[in-house]
Amino acid sequence: MGEPEFTNPKLVINEIFTEINERILRRYFSAYSKIKHVVVYFSKAIAFVTFVDPSKAQNSLQQQQHIILG
């Protein structure tokens, strides 16, 4: 049998800075695929990025570290 299908389209982004907003995250992660939804919670320094295609979320995880505005 092959690898199990990745079904979760949502990524959790930890330790975000206040300079990072929904527009910046959408632009950054849209390089991997179409983005359905982005939510940023500055009070908790966390964001959620939801892809339209769950397999594309998995593809974005292949990169070990993402540096946004670095």
Residue extents of the structural domains in the chain: 10-52
Per-residue model confidence (pLDDT) at position 28: 92
Query: Looking at the predicted structure, is the pLDDT value of residue 10 above 80?
Result: yes
β-pairing verdict for 35-41 and 10-14: unpaired
**pTM score:** 0.81
If you average pLDDT over residues 22-41, what whole number do you get? 94
User: Is 53 in contact with 10 (CB distance < 8 Å)?
Assistant: no
Under DSSP, the state recorded for 45 is T
Give, in order, the Cα–Cα distances in Å from 57 to each of 18, 22, 43, 70: 23, 17, 25, 21
pLDDT tens sequence across 36-61: 999 999 989 999 999 998 888 888 87
